[in-house]
A and B are shown apart, each in its own frame.
Chain A
Amino acid sequence: MSDLETFRNETREWLDKNCPADMRDGAVSEATQCWGGRNWTFTSEGQKLWLERMAAKGWTVPTWPKEYGGAGLSKDETEILQAEMKAIGARKPHDNFGITMLGPALLKFGTHEQKLEHLPPIARGELRWCQGYSEPGAGSDLASLRTKAEDKGDHYIVNGQKIWTSYADKADWIFCLVRTDFDAAKHKGISFVLFDMATDGVTTKPIKLISGSSPFCETFFDDVRVEKSNLVHKPNKGWDVAKYLLTHERGMIGEVFGNMTGGRSLGEIAASEIGIDDMGRVDDPLLRAKLVQAEVDSLAFSTLLQSVSERAEAGESLGAVSSVLKYYGTEMNKRRHELLMEIGGSDELEWSEQNDDGQRSKDWLRTKGNSIEGGTSEVQLQIVAKHILQMPNA
């Protein structure tokens, strides 16, 4: 037996023995996921056990080195682990911006001490992170940010305001872009710092969304003390970290939406909710045509993802390709959710107990943010035109 086969068998056996029954429903929504953190209340004993057991194996962040809380798995092994988890419908043991965003940035730019301090608690789900980039005056033009960090020798004093900080009110720590040099060109005076949200002077104010929920906040900093040991990379080089992370984030967002075809297809949902005609086709020819087009797009997009991922593995530097994925994946996801609303008709337009308190329309409204968060579609297209196509400026 090859090593990989042995690994597969052992993984399967371990998962079967250790994944609690209630963690095997394949749920992936923000509502069911375990976010971890100081104030996390587990929704069940199963959720708690699952996180502990997976963390002990290093499988919450399987590719991270062992010393930082991971399992040091190879790409092939990670794929096996994911496939085996999927096969039994295992949920992710936990997920938050520490795993998906800060982790990769620290692994690339952090010092050994910073990695040792911050990565293991992320892996174990003990600390929950949020992303402090956008400001009221700095959205698409992120580099114009003005939150100020004054150099006080061994620490900085931070003053300013962030906005759209997802889950800032629930997060324990923040990774944050601050301006350390007001005289330099706008990209050259930014630094990347980390601090505890419980530090004096940090306040958050939730923003109510069109779906009625409040997952993001305005975040205010009033004379917040940040130790220099929590500066990632060099002073005034924060933009490099931010750019690396944004590229990573965009690729990831694109991927999430590219892998949605695994569940029930739009066609199946429509057939069961709208009904079929004598020939077994969704009983609305125009809707059927729109659904099949959406499925064609999704399936084609997943092949693009596959090809990009293989090119990345082969060592190609992809950079702006993440903008291609982010743009297409999010726009496609919005179209799919419009179609789900169309399928659902008036039943899904109610806030009622029968439809899980309007979950489908909440999801629909949430998708409108996909093409805004992590850089808008317009910004992605601009990046593609400029950096991939190298088209001339106006």
Chain B
Amino acid sequence: MSMMLNEDQEMLREAAAGFLKENAPVSAFREMRDSNSTEGFSRDLWSEMAQMGWVGILVPEEYGGSAFGMVGAGLIAEEMGKHLTTSPFLSTSVLATTAFAKFGSEAQKQHHLPKISSGECLYALAVDEGAKHAPAKINLKAERSGNGFKLSGQKTFVANGHVADHVIVAARTSGEAGDENGITLFLMDANSMGLDKTASSMVDNSSSARLRLSDVEVNADAIIGEIDGGFEPLETILNAGRACLAAELTGCADQAFNTTVAYINERKQFGVPVGSFQALQHRAAHLHTEIEMAKAVTLAALQSVDGEDEHAWRLTALAKAKVGQVALLAAQEGVQMHGGMGMTDAFDIGLYLKRVRVAGEMFGDASWHANRIAEALSF
């Protein structure tokens, strides 16, 4: 596949960049944060994004979407990363859409996909139960009960879990924590009896939730995919999410870097811009190299998801492993090169530092993905 964007993709990138700059700049993020908004994103922005076809960017046309594909979703995510835009894009437009479009029954597709594209309903995916990502270790129990199932257990770090209308919960129907077999995906109404949601404010002021399920009852038609066979679909869904996060992190890295270069070219000490010191120039040039690589590996990962490549996981793991590190480095170097200013809330660089830690942690941090690559290469 070509590593160049086509014309439509270039246009989408420009449109996203222009729109977010205008409607969701970093100052909007600050306002939202300082207003202690419980939702953590703007509903107005979300409906505008829906009107432009971005919310349904992965939804097939017959269900009202724009079917632009994962590269397009990544372009939007990257621009959102630059502007620190918070929205349910990852959870609804990427994770839930992938779940329904690739693994949903016809009835589920017809019911949910149009509601995604229109911006009417929000979704969340609940996977992790501990502080570190471990999809195979899912232990939240789903037991048969009448015609359906009863679910009990806990989930954590559920992006947009507090605002979603529907939650997709990965649960264990057989086997034990650590087995890839025996996992099943259940769709439930966010207002189900026994589903308790606690919103948590993260260090980057994004919102996620902890869920506690006590005998939540669902019908058999709430299952997405096959009983006990949820692990592979979950991996496919997560890979789309990881590629999207890599794109967002690339955007964060890029903007953190640009802000920093602009600052050191302005800031004078010893009568000259500090950017004129070779000590900083070399590190800026190094970061540029890393960020170029981050962009390339992200695009490769996005394309592999689009291509339904059976090795897609390798490229998404590579992207998450590499970009996670690059974004952290860009933010760390950014703070350092800002000097004291980098420690202040008034400058944006610290916001990127916090954001990349959270996005980097989600669905496997750089070490987790690097370990997977080592396993795949058998060393």
Chain A CB within 8 A of B289 CB: no
B340 touches A164 (CB 8 A): yes
A residues lining the B interface (CB < 8 Å):
134, 137, 139-141, 144, 163-164, 207-210, 212, 273-274, 284-287, 290, 334, 338, 341-342, 344-352, 358, 361, 365, 368-369, 371-373, 376-378, 381-382, 394
Tell me the bound Cα distance from A350 to B203 in angstroms. 6
Contact of A350 among B130, B202, B277, B336 (CB under 8 A): B202
B367 touches A350 (CB 8 A): no
Given the complex, which residues of A lie within 8 Å of B146, measured CB to CB?
none
B367 touches A349 (CB 8 A): no
Give 17 pairs: A residue, B residue, CB < 8 Å, sorted on A: A141-B269, A210-B335, A210-B353, A284-B367, A284-B368, A286-B367, A286-B371, A286-B374, A287-B367, A344-B131, A345-B361, A346-B362, A349-B202, A351-B202, A358-B203, A368-B353, A369-B340
Given the complex, which residues of B lie within 8 Å of A378, measured CB to CB?
277, 279-280
B269 touches A139 (CB 8 A): yes
B358 touches A349 (CB 8 A): yes
B residues lining the A interface (CB < 8 Å):
128, 130-133, 156-157, 200-204, 208, 268-271, 274, 277-280, 328, 332, 335-336, 339-340, 342-346, 350-351, 353-354, 357-358, 361-362, 365, 367-368, 370-371, 374
Smallest CB-CB A-B distances: 4 pairs: A210-B350, A345-B131, A347-B131, A346-B157
Tell me the bound Cα distance from A342 to B340 in angstroms. 25
A210 touches B370 (CB 8 A): no
**Which residue of chain A has its CB nearest to the CB of B362?**
A346
Highest count of chain B CB atoms <10 Å: which of A285, A346, A376: A346
Question: Taking A208-B346, A346-B157 as contacts, is the C-beta distance between A376 and B361 under 8 angstroms?
Answer: no
Given the complex, which residues of A lie within 8 Å of B353, measured CB to CB?
210, 365, 368
Tell me the bound Cα distance from A351 to B206 in angstroms. 11
Contact of B361 among A163, A212, A287, A346 (CB under 8 A): A346
B130 touches A207 (CB 8 A): no
* New A-B contacts (14) at CB < 8 Å, excluding given A342-B367, A345-B133: A134-B340, A208-B344, A209-B343, A210-B351, A286-B371, A334-B332, A349-B357, A351-B201, A351-B202, A352-B200, A361-B203, A372-B342, A378-B277, A382-B279
Given the complex, which residues of B lie within 8 Å of A341, measured CB to CB?
357
Q: Shortest Cβ distance from A349 into chain B, in angstroms? A: 5
Q: Shortest Cβ distance from B325 into chain A, in angstroms? A: 11
B345 touches A210 (CB 8 A): yes
Tell me the bound Cα distance from A349 to B128 in angstroms. 14
Contact of A372 among B157, B200, B336, B357 (CB under 8 A): B336
A369 touches B203 (CB 8 A): no
Contact of A368 among B128, B335, B368 (CB under 8 A): B335
Given the complex, which residues of A lie within 8 Å of B132, measured CB to CB?
274, 284, 345-346
B368 touches A350 (CB 8 A): no
Given the complex, which residues of B lie within 8 Å of A134, measured CB to CB?
340
Highest count of chain A CB atoms <10 Å: which of B132, B156, B342: B132
Given the complex, which residues of A lie within 8 Å of B362, measured CB to CB?
346
Q: Shortest Cβ distance from B200 into chain A, in angstroms? A: 4
Given the complex, which residues of B lie within 8 Å of A382, measured CB to CB?
279
Given the complex, which residues of B lie within 8 Å of A273, measured CB to CB?
131
B128 touches A346 (CB 8 A): yes
B344 touches A209 (CB 8 A): yes
A140 touches B274 (CB 8 A): yes
A140 touches B343 (CB 8 A): no
Question: Taking A140-B274, A346-B131 as contacts, is the C-beta distance between A376 and B336 under 8 angstroms?
Answer: yes
Given the complex, which residues of B lie within 8 Å of A144, measured CB to CB?
269-270
Tell me the bound Cα distance from A273 to B354 in angstroms. 22
**Which residue of chain B has its CB nearest to the CB of A287?**
B367
B203 touches A290 (CB 8 A): no
B270 touches A140 (CB 8 A): yes
Q: Shortest Cβ distance from B206 into chain A, in angstroms? A: 9
Contact of A348 among B131, B208, B280 (CB under 8 A): B131
Given the complex, which residues of A lie within 8 Å of B350, measured CB to CB?
209-210, 365
B339 touches A372 (CB 8 A): yes
Question: Taking A285-B371, A286-B371 as contacts, is the C-beta distance between A345 and B130 under 8 angstroms?
Answer: yes
Highest count of chain B CB atoms <10 Å: which of A209, A334, A345, A369: A345
A140 touches B269 (CB 8 A): yes
Given the complex, which residues of A lie within 8 Å of B204, measured CB to CB?
349
Given the complex, which residues of B lie within 8 Å of A358, measured CB to CB?
203
B332 touches A141 (CB 8 A): no
Q: Shortest Cβ distance from A169 into chain B, in angstroms? A: 16
Contact of B371 among A164, A210, A284 (CB under 8 A): A284
Tell me the bound Cα distance from A210 to B200 in angstroms. 19
Given the complex, which residues of B lie within 8 Å of A381, measured CB to CB?
279
Q: Shortest Cβ distance from B173 into chain A, in angstroms? A: 24
